[in-house]
Amino acid sequence: MQQASGRPTSDLIVEQICQPLQMTNSVFRLNPDQQTRLAVGHVGNQACWKSASHPLAPWDMGDLMRPISGMYTSVNDLLLFAKANLGLLPSPLTSALTATHQLQIQTPRGGEALGWMIWKRDHDRQTITFKDGVLSGYFGYIGMDLDRRVAVVVLANKFNWDDKVGMNLLVRLSGAYAAGGTMADGQ
């Protein structure tokens, strides 16, 4: 993307996605106020030679990797992103976000879309669209049941390869919603 525009990809992500969705705490470089609010990351189950509670400094991913793995964000910003993806937040990005949900590669468990993993569960009766990741003492998850318009965001300051809290919570919440439960504010 940088070659086509002549601008860094990270700048374009903030300008074209974060700003229209008012995701003010989604940045690639923390300002002094954001730096004071950054939770200290911990080793978790990343390394067997350090205790899980050992603090871990954030990694600088460099200009090449920063756009794909170096963004800082908040739960509130990811909830705005989820609402926009669910069509609950009017946005000029609605059609572009919807296009990212389309299955691109089929796998036995579901597949992959543009930036999202797709999990077909319960004999294809439910589709979960999600992205999770671990980096430098942190874990993040955003998942959605697009049909039931339910989303879950989990951020943790402990590296964890095996965290399933977000997925389990989403399956339970969307199941309750499907069974006639109500979700406050459409969240």
Residues 138-147: what's their mean pLDDT? 94
Look up residue 62 and give its two tokens.
């460099």
- 3-class SS of residue 42: strand
Query: Nearest-CA neighbor of 126 among 172, 181, 185, 180?
Result: 172
Least confident of 22-26, 64-68, 86-90: 64-68
Q: What is the pLDDT of residues 8-59, one digit of tens each?
A: 899 999 999 999 999 999 999 889 999 999 999 888 887 777 887 888 887 7
CA–CA dist 24, 35 (Å, integer): 14
The per-residue pLDDT for 185 is: 40
Spans of all domains in the chain: 2-186
What superfamily would CATH give domain 2-186? DD-peptidase/beta-lactamase superfamily (3.40.710.10)
In this predicted structure, the answer to whether residue 177 has a pLDDT above a threshold of 50 is yes
CA–CA dist 80, 20 (Å, integer): 11
Runs of H (alpha helix) within the chain: 2-5, 9-13, 32-37, 62-69, 75-86, 94-99, 165-178
The structure's pTM equals 0.86
State the DSSP H helix or E strand holding residue 118, giving kind and residue range, or none if neither: strand 117-121
CA–CA dist 76, 82 (Å, integer): 10
